[in-house]
Amino acid sequence: MFLPSLTFLVLPTFLQTITALNFAFEEIQLTEAETLSNPSIRFGDLNNPAPPSAEPCKVTPQDQDWPTDTEWADFNATLGGVLLKPRPLALPCYNETTVGGGSTYNATRCEAVKSGWGNMALHANDPISVRSQWATGDSCVPTGQPNSKCSQGGYPVYVINATTVRHVQMAVNFARNKNIRVVVKNSGHDFNGKNIGAHSLSIWVHNLKGAEYHADYTTSNYAGRALVVGAGTQASDVYSIRTTYNTTIQLPGGATVGVVGGYAQGGGHSSYSSLYGLTADNVLRIHAVTADGKFVTADPDTNQDLYWAFRGGGGGNFGIVTSMVIAAFPQTPLASSSISFSTLPRAGQPGLSVDTFWQGVETYFSYGIAICEEGGLGYDFIRHSTSGNSTGLTFTVSISLPFKTASEVREFLQPLRDQLREIGIMRSVQDESTNTTPDNDASISAIGDTVHHTLIASRLFQRSNFATPSSLSELRAAVRYFVEEGGYDFHGQTYNPSLETDAYDTDNAVHPGFRTAIMHAQGYERTHHWDGVEPVVPVAEQAQRHDRMQSYIQRWKEITPGSGSYMNEGDAQTKDWKDAFWGENYERLEGVKRKFDPWGMFWVLGGVGSDAWEVRGSSGGGREGLFTQDGTLCKVEI
């Protein structure tokens, strides 16, 4: 069954017959015959790859080898008119620009951009705009200072608004044959700016939409529920399928995050990770365009090595996914309960002492293993907060357990409440009534999709960190140091996608440390670099802030030897990135990368094989500074 491209449909019938391809947009492909008369879009040959360009760098518009305007126009004609040359969203806030020529200032449009800027939908629906503006070099953010200058910075020069596989193939072939940097943008949520690059041709997969539910999807080793999903499909596009078909589908918490882009390729956690594993563990089949421009299938029977690598190897590394098939589950009810306490006064009660607050946090941590063993999720935050003129720390957690009623969750958590009461916390605790959330990620989507923090780090805390009173106390001390001394916010996600879950296949490239982790924790910088009012923090200061956070994360690393970090919510600039994101899987991933991308076509910061390239001349200063994308991608000189 094929769906018309660019149209998002939920089919009301249960589909039994599976054709080889998932969507109509995958039927439209580039043929060898078309390329005979147009060498600029000829395919590459993985068995006999032409040597990579001898040039040390990818071409830029300043180079002689950059295609002429006529060549771009011809390319656009062959594409059928989907080539875009977008300028940054915030252009109307500037008098002076290097991307438009002349004055572009428009107060009304600038105000509109400013007011929408904190909402990810604005960025997700734009061909180039992204969440992590720092990675552009903050080259064109909305400003109240119109006399500063807007430039293209780390944004791509051209974008292909892909609506067919043919568009993706042509983009890959044109970029490879012309030695142009290629980037892939889906929802634009990536925390490390892996979705942009200066002087590049961007493949925008946002409009490769489609989602189709199958009650009885059958492969050589699977029979059951499945969701077939296109590359541009976002979490919110799938919500109605879950209710229509009474099914559970693992989705990112953020409504505008893509389902099969960075999320599924990097691992993908959901409310059900302790029960059904990561999303990557439930991918049945992948369709993608590889670096030679060919359209391939990767599943347990075909291109097994690519199939393994795509599930955990990370977005933007091995090819451009056009669709995936993901196992779905019977509707799995969740019930949840939340607890909150603070050092700030509340409801006429004095705030907790700081020591008691941290004792409470440790008490919660001591339930980590039990939450995971129940197949549940603990979703907590420790934030610096204010009340009137006072500042303090506030802890909130929502604990969701599958297959439990509200009263059973309450019963499960009663010992925790009793212990909190014993240490004097229940006096000032906010104890929300337990509520049921049948099959949705309400607890997660509550954090919203707004553009916030720009500095992030992550660590997978292991079962051993939760196993004994002394390890719990060490864990508490490490988190306390990060929050109190560092001044950062903390976000703990207690879940365990172990080898024992009901996942389809855990033999994939995800960091092995996930399997024994009890908590995936993130640290955030509390203030972000641009708040809509103040000028952007200078890049040198941003780099210092980045280094500072790295130094505070060191303490987390010290108590989690051999563990790693979640690449989708971690710092791609961490010095130990190979170990941090893949551990022992890195070497095998490098082999797959060499086989399927001998040209180094797909490059992202902290990606597999990314140490072979660097961004030169950026405002951030590369790996030793803040790795911004507003420079030229060049081979590292050995």
Taking CB under 6 A as the criterion, the residue among 185, 214, 311, 557 binding ligand FAD is 185
CA distance 411 to 404: 10
CA dihedral for 519, 521, 438, 212, sign (positive or negative): negative
Tell me if 195 contacts ligand FAD by CB under 6 A: yes
Tell me the per-residue interface mask from 205 to 224 with ligand FAD, x by CB under 6 A, - otherwise. x-------------------
In the block, tokens 């802890």 appear at 395
263 vs 357, beta carbon nearer ligand FAD: 263
CA dihedral for 599, 604, 605, 609, sign (positive or negative): negative
Taking CB under 6 A as the criterion, the residue among 137, 154, 197, 268 binding ligand FAD is 268
The least distance separating ligand FAD from the CB of residue 315, rounded to whole angstroms, comes to 2
Tell me if 285 contacts ligand FAD by CB under 6 A: no
Contact stretch for ligand FAD (CB under 6 A) within 53-61, 253-261, 461-469, 554-562: 253-261
Task: Give 447's contacts (C-beta < 8 A, 6+ positions apart).
Answer: 253, 254
Taking CB under 6 A as the criterion, the residue among 128, 321, 478, 509 binding ligand FAD is 321
The least distance separating ligand FAD from the CB of residue 107, rounded to whole angstroms, comes to 30
Other CB atoms within a 10 A radius of the CB of residue 345 amount to 15
Backbone angles phi, psi at 286, to 5 degrees: -130, 135
Radius of gyration of the chain measured on its C-alpha atoms: 24
In the block, tokens 């906010």 appear at 430
Taking CB under 6 A as the criterion, the residue among 217, 263, 514, 603 binding ligand FAD is 263
Strand order in the sheet with 295-298: 211-219, 222-230, 320-327, 283-289, 295-298
Tell me the per-residue interface mask from 439 to 478 with ligand FAD, x by CB under 6 A, - otherwise. -----x----x-----------------------------
Tell me if 188 contacts ligand FAD by CB under 6 A: yes
Task: Give 439's contacts (C-beta < 8 A, 6+ positions apart).
Answer: 242, 243, 247, 248, 331, 332, 333, 334
The least distance separating ligand FAD from the CB of residue 136, rounded to whole angstroms, comes to 13
Interactions with ligand FAD, residue window 46-105 (CB under 6 A)? none
SS (H, E, C) 502-546: CCCCCCCCCCHHHHHEEEEEEEECCCCCCCCCCCCCCHHHHHHHH
93 vs 257, beta carbon nearer ligand FAD: 257
Please, how many CA atoms are within 13 Å of residue 313, restricted to the half-sphere of its CB?
28
Tell me if 258 contacts ligand FAD by CB under 6 A: yes
Tell me if 519 contacts ligand FAD by CB under 6 A: no
Contact stretch for ligand FAD (CB under 6 A) within 6-14, 216-224, 260-268, 549-557: 260-268
In the block, tokens 């040198």 appear at 540
268 vs 351, beta carbon nearer ligand FAD: 268
Check: CB of residue 366 under 8 Å from CB of residue 359: no
The least distance separating ligand FAD from the CB of residue 607, rounded to whole angstroms, comes to 7
CA distance 414 to 400: 14
How far is the first Cα of the chain from the last one, in angstroms, to the nearest whole number?
A: 51
The least distance separating ligand FAD from the CB of residue 234, rounded to whole angstroms, comes to 7
Tell me if 228 contacts ligand FAD by CB under 6 A: no
Contact stretch for ligand FAD (CB under 6 A) within 86-94, 254-262, 511-519, 521-529: 254-262
Interactions with ligand FAD, residue window 553-582 (CB under 6 A)? 568-569
Taking CB under 6 A as the criterion, the residue among 181, 194, 546, 578 binding ligand FAD is 194
Tell me if 609 contacts ligand FAD by CB under 6 A: no
CA distance 432 to 405: 15
79 vs 231, beta carbon nearer ligand FAD: 231
Tell me if 253 contacts ligand FAD by CB under 6 A: yes
Tell me if 326 contacts ligand FAD by CB under 6 A: no
CA distance 380 to 9: 36
The least distance separating ligand FAD from the CB of residue 263, rounded to whole angstroms, comes to 4
Nearest to 282 by CA among 62, 110, 508, 469: 508
Contact positions vs ligand FAD (CB under 6 A): 131, 184-191, 194-195, 205, 231, 252-254, 257-258, 261-263, 266-269, 315-316, 320-321, 444, 449, 568-569, 604
